[in-house]
Amino acid sequence: MTKNRSSIRKRLLFILMGTLVLISILMLIEVKSSARIAANEAYDRVLLGSALAISERVLIVGEHIDVDIPYVALEMLASESQDRIFYQVTTQDHSFVTGYEDLPPLPKKAKPIFDEPLFYDAIYKGDEIRIGAINRFISSPKLSTRFTVRVAETTDARNSLIQKMVTDAILRQFILIFVAGCIMWVGVSWGLKPLRHLQAALKRRNPKDLHPIAHKVPQEVQQLVNGINDLMDRLSQSIEAMQRFTSNAAHQLRTPLAAIQTQTELALKTNETDELHHRLEHLKQSTQQSTRLVNQLLSLARAMPDQMALLSETIDVVKTCREITAQLVPHALEKGMDLGFECETDKILILGHEGLLHEALKNLIENAIAYCPKETEITVKVFHENKIVTIEVHDTGLGIPSELQDKIFERFNRGSRSDGNGCGLGLSIVKEIVERHSGHITLISEPQSGTTFCITLQSK
């Protein structure tokens, strides 16, 4: 399967050469028009000279006009080319005097002929002809009148001259296009040389080298290099974060798995029922811890940037918070705690990923239940003001020591918990999900005064 790859060189040459060819075509059209005008001007002078020569040989004989045609003038006109010559003399009232009687008359839209000559094109006996006409006045004691002299010739010589001029122009344009194409090819190749140098520099790089590109490039390519540097910086950070995550996850999984293996080996060696039951209880706890850790690792993976591209679900925050709170009330009652929900609004809508937002809120409430002592009051509150949605999870527990608050959102940080059931991922997952929803999470806690986690999001 072949891929359609667009070449910058070909695109530039196509645009430049296409523009040059278009300009050349327009120039050739103008050359043809100018050539026709120039040819007509040159040949029309000969027609006019022949017409003037005939008009000077028009005489009045008695009461009639007579013409002594100067055939020498017509022969001089014919000697210029192989064109055929025609002439006609008529009186003011269009009476035919001599020449070719069926010569085409003046076009209907033509101006009347007076002192200035008139030239026009016509068809005569199937041939294209050019006619020059003049009008003169003649007078004698017996007759005063005006007469018109028309001299025509076929246009073969004119067309040949025009064709030669256009052909020469086309040849010059082809030479110009060829030379310009060669210059453009060399120029584009020279202009793209920095890209080839950049490509070679990147090929020489070690695959693990994600440092910014410091290669000198033209201004037009600098934006591309800046984009690549930004991508490499984000990729480096992502790889480092993934390496830290993998290392920490492997370390955290090693502990419960080692405990499972140890408790299993001890259980296999004992024959006492009580001792076996004790080992199985430890095995159950280690298995539960491993299961919780794996589930939270999966939740954290779902909250990674590449999984959060489409945050297009319409979520009712009030409904979601109320449902999560209701689901966790039995768990809070088992621990001897009071879990409640407060909101003065029936519905608040945002855009996001409902499943992940549900996971974040559930982690916050479960975290409060897990860390707070008995008889603690846990309250979930939702506010909405100026298109800002605020979700608070407040507890009246022991609070978080100030020295632990700065690291509370770090992965695998379990705070002051030492019961072995936590994984240290809950708050990290919450922070990741909230930030992917373009929100913020803050912590307010005082020792012996309780803790409040505050999430702010943009409403729809």
CA-to-CA dists, residue 193 to 14, 43, 188, 222, 273, angstroms: 19, 56, 9, 14, 81
Per domain, the residue ranges of the chain are 11-163, 219-302, 310-458
Residue 85 CB-half CA count within 13 A: 20
Contacts of 180 (CB under 8 A, 6+ apart): 17, 20
User: Class of the 219-302 domain?
Assistant: mainly alpha
Q: Mention every residue, 6+ apart, whose C-beta is less than 8 A from residue 182.
A: none
Environment class of residue 194 by beta-carbon count within 10 Å: exposed (0-12), middle (13-18) or buried (19+)? middle
Q: Which two tokens stand for residue 2?
A: 């072949």
CATH code for residues 310-458: 3.30.565.10
Q: Give the Cα separation of 201 and 343 in Å (integer).
A: 60
Nearest-angstrom CA–CA distance, 411 and 303: 13
Q: What is the pLDDT of residue 430?
A: 85
Backbone angles phi, psi at 388, to 5 degrees: -110, 125
**How far is Cα 363 from Cα 370, in angstroms, rounded to an integer?**
10
Going by C-alpha positions, the residue among 381, 379, 412 that lies closest to residue 395 is 379
d(CA 87, CA 444) in angstroms, rounded, equals 113
Q: Give me the long-range contacts of 245-253 (CB less than 8 A, separation at least 24).
A: 245/300, 245/411, 248/411, 248/412, 249/297, 251/412, 252/293, 252/412, 252/423, 252/424, 253/290, 253/293, 253/294
Q: Is 57 exposed, middle or buried (0-12, 13-18, 19+ CB in 10 A)?
A: middle
Tokens of 217: 């490039």
By three-state DSSP, how is residue 459 classified? coil
> Running DSSP on this structure, what letter comes out for residue 224?
H
Pick from 386, 402, 390, 385: nearest CA to 449? 402
Give yes or no for a contact between 192 and 8, defined as CB atoms under 8 angstroms apart.
yes
pLDDT tens, the chain, 460 aa long: 444 556 778 888 888 889 999 999 999 999 999 999 998 998 888 888 888 888 888 888 877 888 888 776 666 665 555 778 899 999 888 889 998 999 998 887 777 677 789 999 999 999 999 999 999 888 888 888 889 999 999 888 888 889 999 999 999 999 999 999 899 888 888 888 888 888 888 888 887 777 888 777 777 778 888 888 888 888 887 777 677 667 656 666 676 777 778 878 877 877 777 777 877 877 777 787 677 667 666 665 655 554 444 567 889 999 999 999 999 999 999 999 999 999 988 899 998 888 888 888 988 998 889 888 988 999 999 999 888 999 999 999 888 888 887 778 776 555 554 444 555 566 877 888 888 888 999 999 887 788 999 999 988 7
- The domain defined by 11-163 folds into Beta-Lactamase (3.30.450)
